[in-house]
Amino acid sequence: MKPPSNLDFNLKLAPLHLGTCCAFILCNMDKVNISVAIIPMAKDMGWSVSTAGFLQSAFFYGFALSQLPGGYLATRFGGARMLPIGVLLWSTATAVVPFVAGDPKLLFIARAMVGLGEGISPAAATDVIARTVPLKERSRAVAFVFNGFNIGSVLGLSLAPLIIENFGWRTVFYIFGGIGVLWVTWVGLGIYRRGGAT
């Protein structure tokens, strides 16, 4: 029997790479959406500039706190298990924002939870790649997957204003959060399991 070529192997892994890249696209879309939405939110809620800035910083508290635990959890339980948990956490927290926006304390917690979920993701994605991609292919896989951050920033900052202008600021959180929940079903519970990611 003819052994599989590198091309065959790469094609076999393509859905896994694309799915993981999409997680990072969503990651930065949910990270940057408040940068646009904060303007109409502050107007509606009557926030001062300092309050708006404080609320925008909430993400980074959660993100910073979850980096090291995220690495441990990815190593202990596997990135293919932890990445869907992270995506579900940040997506749910994103979708909750319109419901808690009237209370700055609850909004701060929701945005910190977005950061917590996203902080798990780099280590989890790296673990997925390490467990499924041959050593000589890993650099390309990492570059492809992590480029999702840049794509997500561009998409988030481009789409959020259009959504907000046409449907209001609450809608952008519903849509972006909902897409993340769909990712969990499509990739976390589908592609990862079928592709043998652990």
Burial class (CB in 10 A: 0-12, 13-18, 19+), 114: buried
Interval 124-146: pLDDT, tens = 989 888 888 888 888 888 888 88
pTM here is 0.87
Interval 150-161: pLDDT, tens = 999 999 999 999
Burial class (CB in 10 A: 0-12, 13-18, 19+), 134: exposed
Per the CB < 8 A criterion, the answer to whether 194 and 21 are in contact is no
Per the CB < 8 A criterion, the answer to whether 95 and 177 are in contact is yes
pLDDT band at 40 (very low <50, low <70, confident <90, very high): very high
Per the CB < 8 A criterion, the answer to whether 28 and 153 are in contact is yes
Q: What angle do CA 132, 133, 136 make, to 5 degrees?
A: 155
Q: Kindly state the tokens that stand for 147.
A: 């480029």
